[in-house]
């Protein structure tokens, strides 16, 4: 990718989570292709690999997290600490970048704006102190972004918590979630106060921004985008799935993918492999891990399974598998520590995806036309799974049932039964609609043009 410049520089500040780093660096690549110079400010914790993006400038700042805190499974606590610790270091970074310096390569470049993740709650005031326009990157489905910001209001009005946390009833204020989904999203009562405070801060810090950049499109988020004016009075830019824009692909994985997946897939029949990956954060018990293992084996179908080291509680990796388990598969199963997911989903051999339904994984599966089996664990995954199974009808919801017979049944429904053919037909239609959106003249392409023009106007 040859470097071009319009003498404008954009600063991007990702939240240090895999699901947030991916879209931020993909957005950086898109903006670079439109002529902007790119500076990435990032924390020491989960620092992106600068060597994967040699044409960007990377600035690492202190984040104040101890080694113990970086290993904590409490994500809300981690985000709270990051927001408490990072304001001063970010301010110092921006001051250095904005200070005239005759030796600086950016001497002739005007810094146009700051783009940061919605999970940062202090950045609006910092940007304002430098008179720097700020855009918020929404790494969720926009339906979830709008809905989850209103949860504290629902709680104040007495709608939460629900008396029956396992209720199947729909939540009218947050469709198509069910009450049991929202109860899982909101966590335990001891977490409610901290979560409410965090969500209120996100809303308050987003409203004064110059706009929201959404990694979705009209075709996936039409209703929520139409409702957005009730909450926000600034432009919203649904630029579509960032990874399918016509720009060179680049890696932003925090884990080293096992490239042996691809030659293994090359040896499998077309649409014969179920791909299994539960993302970069989810953990499971040893018994849940074994239920998935036996469920996959019992299908007698080929599977490629990503088991992230440390994702099985109390175990390093897959040592819980019975002796001889892999040999009993007769070559039909492959387990890796991490996979090049985009390549796997695009491979002709991949016929289904058992997923946690993080938004990046959901988008990637839609864009490659791969039907999904939904096993959501936390946060926006619940909503994404409902859209998959009940709105778009392009997959099957396991409803949290991690049991070998349920796993086997779901895989067979998608991969073998006639129901899978119907799901495949529906996801192919949605795939085509979403991919058209980023082509010249499509809804996402027009939105990206609007975003670029807006940044250039500063």
- The CATH number of the domain where 420 resides is what? 3.40.50.2000
For residue 140, which of 358, 387, 348 has the smallest C-alpha distance?
A: 358
Domain that holds residue 315: 261-435
448 and 430: one domain?
no
Query: Does residue 345 lie in a domain region?
Result: yes
Decide if 253 is inside a domain: no
**Strand arrangement of the beta sheet that strand 333-336 belongs to:** 333-336, 302-306, 273-277, 350-355, 372-374, 395-397
Phi-psi domain of 407 (left: phi exceeds 0; alpha: psi -120 through 50; beta: other): alpha
φ and ψ at 13, to 5 degrees? Answer: -135, 90
For residues 425 and 446, membership in a common domain is answered with no
Number of domains in the chain: 2
Q: Label residue 162 by pLDDT band (50, 70, 90).
A: low
pLDDT one-digit tens code per residue, 62-86? 999 998 998 888 888 899 999 999 9
pTM score, two decimals? 0.90
Burial bucket for residue 446 (CB in 10 Å: 0-12, 13-18, 19+): middle
212 shares a domain with 313: no
308 in the same domain as 211: no
Cα distance between residue 206 and residue 190, in whole Å: 26
Same domain as 29, residue 43? yes
Residue 150 placed within a domain: no
Specify whether 232 is located in the same domain as 330.
Answer: no
Quick one: 102 and 116 in the same domain?
A: yes
Task: Mark whether 227 and 365 lie in a shared domain.
Answer: no
- Angle (CA) 253 255 261, round 5°: 95
Mean residue pLDDT across the chain: 90
Q: What does the alpha-carbon distance between residue 259 and residue 251 come to, in Å, rounded to a whole number?
A: 13
Distance (Å, rounded) from C-alpha 79 to C-alpha 82?
A: 5
329 & 393 share domain: yes
Residues 449 and 428 reside in one and the same domain: no
**What's the pLDDT tens digit per position in 239-286?**
999 889 888 766 677 888 999 999 999 999 999 999 999 988 888 999
Same domain, 61 and 134: yes
Q: Both 344 and 237 in a single domain? A: no
- Whether 231 is in a domain gets the answer yes
160 in any annotated domain: no
How many contiguous H segments (helices) and E segments (strands) does the chain have?
Answer: 19, 13
Per the domain annotation, does 182 fall within a domain? no
In a domain, 42, yes or no: yes
Instruction: For residue range 91-125, list pLDDT tens digits in order.
Output: 999 999 988 664 444 445 789 999 999 999 999 99
Looking at 234-295, which runs of residues are DSSP E strands?
236-238, 273-277
Distance CA 370, CA 394 (A): 9
Q: Compute the distance between CA of residue 26 and CA of residue 342 in angstroms, rounded to an integer.
A: 13
Domain membership of residue 333 (yes or no) is yes
Could you count the other beta carbons within 10 Å of the beta carbon of residue 188? 9
Model confidence pLDDT, tens digit, residues 284-324? 999 999 999 999 999 999 999 999 998 999 898 999 899 98
What sign does the CA torsion over 326, 330, 333, 336 have?
Answer: positive
């Amino acid at each position: 990718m040859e470097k071009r410049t319009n003498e404008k520089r954009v600063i991007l500040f990702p939240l240090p989570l895999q699901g947030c780093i991916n879209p931020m660096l993909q957005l950086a690549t898109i903006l670079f292709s439109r002529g902007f110079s790119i500076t990435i400010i990032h924390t020491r914790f989960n620092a992106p690999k600068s060597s994967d993006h040699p044409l960007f400038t990377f600035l690492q700042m202190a984040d104040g997290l101890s080694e113990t805190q970086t290993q904590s499974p409490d994500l809300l606590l981690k985000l709270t600490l990051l927001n408490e610790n990072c304001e001063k270091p970010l301010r110092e970074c921006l001051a250095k970048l904005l200070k005239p310096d005759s030796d600086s390569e950016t001497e002739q470049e005007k810094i146009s704006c700051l783009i940061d993740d919605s999970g940062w709650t202090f950045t609006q005031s910092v940007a304002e102190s430098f008179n720097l326009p700020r855009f918020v990157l929404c790494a969720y489905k926009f339906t979830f972004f709008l809905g989850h910001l209103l949860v504290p209001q629902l709680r104040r009005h007495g709608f939460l918590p629900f008396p029956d946390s396992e209720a199947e009833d729909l939540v009218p204020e947050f469709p198509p979630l069910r009450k049991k989904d929202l109860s899982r999203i909101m966590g335990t009562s001891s977490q409610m106060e901290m979560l409410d405070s965090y969500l209120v801060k996100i809303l308050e810090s987003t409203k004064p921004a110059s706009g929201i950049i959404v990694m979705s499109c009209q075709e996936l988020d039409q209703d929520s985008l139409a409702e957005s004016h009730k909450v926000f009075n600034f432009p919203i830019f649904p630029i579509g799935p960032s990874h399918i824009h016509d720009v060179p692909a680049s890696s932003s994985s925090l884990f080293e993918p096992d490239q042996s997946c691809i030659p293994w897939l090359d040896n499998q029949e077309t649409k014969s492999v179920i791909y299994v990956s539960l993302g970069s954060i989810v953990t499971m018990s040893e018994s849940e891990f074994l239920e998935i293992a036996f469920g996959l084996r019992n299908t007698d179908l080929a599977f490629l399974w990503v088991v992230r080291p440390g994702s099985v509680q109390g175990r390093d990796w897959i040592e819980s598998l019975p002796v001889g388990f892999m040999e009993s598969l007769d070559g039909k199963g492959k387990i890796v520590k991490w996979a090049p997911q985009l390549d796997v989903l695009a491979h002709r051999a991949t016929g289904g995806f058992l997923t946690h339904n993080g938004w990046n994984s959901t988008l990637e599966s839609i864009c490659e036309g791969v039907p999904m089996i939904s096993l959501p664990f936390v946060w926006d995954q619940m909503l994404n799974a409902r859209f998959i199974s009940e709105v778009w009808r392009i997959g099957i919801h396991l409803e949290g049932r991690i049991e070998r017979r349920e796993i086997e049944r779901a895989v067979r429904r998608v991969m073998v039964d006639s129901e899978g053919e119907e799901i495949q037909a529906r996801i192919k239609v949605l795939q085509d609609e979403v991919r058209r959106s980023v082509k010249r003249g499509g809804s996402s392409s027009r939105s990206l043009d609007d975003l670029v023009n807006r940044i250039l106007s500063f």
